[in-house]
């Protein structure tokens, strides 16, 4: 993206004004009118085109900026298609249901908040969706906490922490794939590198919730029992359904490219489905495109398991292409370059660059309230600066997740914040002090950036 050459050089005031207008259009549309982000981004693209035409830039040149910007995301588009296929194939084969069932067996009377954090982490990694985790098992845990007269705010904090840990570290997550693809880093290399900040954040969060957990007896576990019984009734809970996961892990360890790893694991899951679930080829093809639809009759189980398919990725793919196209215009019109030139003198060290990119991701979350845009725009703006300092792209992709993905649920007017509050019945400001993982991740990424520890340079990789 940073290789797109500017055709004009706007003044600093013009650049700031245009960015302010774009941010205002997107944030007001999403926060005030609850519009899907696609529409305000499209409006912003039209505004930028009009600005370019006023500045005597040819339409063909502006169109080239759109195409070059969108082209930067094509690797992500193909990965998203395979992610959709992988999720639906893992649902068919029973891999994800077995992982979820295993998570629920961990519930014990001791360390309730810590157990909630662990289980939501397992399920978050299993399905790659933080909001689905919150809306299903998260609601169940809130119900249990209410019945036991435990703090709903702390329980919600544990749920959010675990769900977003899973979303951040899951190869099935669209945000994880997006962050790695936008800077051209292999998916599994990106996940491994995130471990430097994520594992300490996870351990500290687990310790905090362990100390905060009261000594209780889980007398009302009906919600958990319903989940476990519903999972068993699917007929998908078997040890051998872990084969696709084993394939994924083995190929990851031998550093097979992400797309091929996802494809191989999907094939293993499809073969398993044909053998032990008795699906016809027609049904398999339909599920791979349209997604798996659970029909247990238990609403919570069906909501948790009805996922995947290529079609489920269209929303994200459309958003990615539109946002990247807008980014292409911002670079083609010289707007991003103009803004970066003003602060370039402050970005001569790795520590200041990482802090600036982290604050940008956080700022976009606060101003616009959109998780994907915090990743996309931060990656577009700072990729060139990381290259100039010789920093490997995986340093930037880690910052984008540490300060982008997990910060969104902490913003009351963000997409995630509004959703979580509506389904859990706990306000964002109530659970925010206890969402330890989400608070620690951006803090640790800045601290490690300042210390220089865990940073990878291109000539030292």
Tens-place pLDDT, residues 207-265: 999 999 876 665 556 667 777 888 888 888 898 999 998 998 888 778 888 889 889 99
**Domain segments of the chain: what residues?**
75-313
Alpha-carbon torsion, ordered 454, 455, 460, 461, to 10 deg? 80
Predicted pLDDT at 14: 94
Q: Is the pLDDT of residue 72 over 80?
A: no
pTM exceeds 0.85, yes or no: no
Alpha carbons 194 and 198: distance in angstroms, whole number: 6
Alpha carbons 325 and 64: distance in angstroms, whole number: 10
Burial of 297 (0-12, 13-18, 19+ CB in 10 A): exposed
Alpha carbons 95 and 127: distance in angstroms, whole number: 10
Q: Is the pLDDT of residue 284 over 90?
A: yes
Alpha carbons 129 and 350: distance in angstroms, whole number: 32
Predicted pLDDT at 461: 45
Dihedral sign computed on CA atoms, order 455, 456, 459, 461 = positive
Per-residue pLDDT tens over the stretch 113-167: 999 999 999 988 988 888 878 877 887 788 678 767 789 999 999 999 999 999 9
Cα dist. 434→153, 164, 437 in Å? Answer: 7, 13, 9
CA contacts within 13 A on the Cβ side of 296: 23
Alpha carbons 363 and 384: distance in angstroms, whole number: 20
Alpha carbons 238 and 273: distance in angstroms, whole number: 12
SS3 222: helix
CB 84 within 8 A of CB 262: no
Q: Is the pLDDT of residue 448 over 60?
A: yes
Per-residue pLDDT tens over the stretch 406-441: 999 998 888 788 888 878 888 888 999 999 999 999
CA contacts within 13 A on the Cβ side of 297: 4
CB 94 within 8 A of CB 279: no
Residue 292: DSSP 8-state: -
Predicted pLDDT at 316: 83
Q: How many CB atoms neighbour CB 180 within 10 A?
A: 30
Per-residue pLDDT tens over the stretch 285-298: 999 999 999 888 88
Q: Is the pLDDT of residue 362 over 70?
A: yes
3-state helix, strand, coil in the chain (%, to 5): 75, 0, 25
């Amino acid at each position: 993206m940073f290789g797109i050459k500017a055709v004009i050089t706007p003044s600093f005031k013009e650049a700031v004004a245009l960015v302010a207008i774009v941010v205002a259009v997107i944030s007001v549309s999403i926060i005030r009118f609850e519009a899907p982000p696609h529409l305000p981004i499209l409006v912003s693209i039209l505004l930028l085109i009009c600005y370019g035409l006023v500045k005597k830039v040819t339409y063909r040149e502006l169109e080239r900026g759109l195409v070059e910007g969108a082209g930067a995301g094509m690797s992500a588009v193909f990965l998203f298609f395979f992610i959709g296929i992988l999720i639906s194939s893992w649902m068919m084969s029973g891999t994800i249901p077995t992982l979820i069932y295993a998570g629920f067996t961990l519930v014990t009377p001791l360390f309730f908040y810590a157990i909630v954090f662990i289980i939501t982490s397992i399920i978050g990694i299993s399905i790659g969706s933080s909001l689905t985790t919150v809306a299903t098992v998260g609601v169940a845990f809130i119900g249990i906490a209410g019945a036991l007269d435990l703090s709903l705010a702390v329980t919600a904090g544990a749920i959010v922490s675990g769900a977003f840990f899973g979303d951040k570290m899951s190869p099935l997550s669209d945000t994880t794939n997006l962050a790695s693809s936008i800077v051209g880093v292999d998916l599994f290399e990106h996940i491994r590198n995130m471990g430097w900040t994520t594992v300490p954040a996870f351990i500290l969060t687990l310790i905090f919730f362990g100390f905060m957990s009261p000594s209780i007896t889980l007398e009302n576990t009906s919600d958990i029992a319903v989940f476990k019984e519903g999972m068993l009734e699917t007929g998908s809970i078997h040890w051998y359904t872990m084969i696709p996961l084993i394939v994924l892990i083995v190929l990851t360890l031998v550093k097979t490219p992400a797309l091929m790893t996802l494809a191989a694991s999907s094939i293993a899951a499809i073969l398993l489905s044909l053998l032990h679930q008795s699906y016809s080829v027609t049904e398999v093809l339909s599920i791979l495109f349209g997604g798996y639809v659970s029909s247990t009759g238990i609403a919570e189980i069906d909501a948790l398991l009805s996922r995947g398919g290529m079609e489920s990725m269209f929303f994200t793919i459309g958003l990615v292409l539109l946002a990247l196209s807008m980014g292409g215009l911002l670079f083609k019109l010289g707007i991003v370059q103009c803004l970066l030139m003003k602060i370039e003198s402050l970005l001569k060290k790795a520590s200041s660059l990482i802090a600036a990119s982290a604050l940008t991701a956080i700022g976009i979350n606060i101003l616009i309230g959109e998780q994907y845009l915090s990743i996309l725009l931060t990656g577009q703006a700072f990729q060139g600066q990381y290259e100039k300092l010789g920093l490997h792209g995986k340093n930037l992709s880690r910052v984008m997740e540490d300060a982008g993905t997990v910060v969104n649920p902490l913003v009351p007017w963000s997409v995630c914040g509004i959703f979580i509050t509506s389904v859990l019945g706990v306000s964002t400001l109530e659970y925010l002090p206890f969402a330890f993982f989400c608070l620690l991740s951006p803090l640790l990424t800045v601290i490690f950036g300042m210390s220089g520890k865990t940073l990878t340079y291109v000539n030292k990789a």
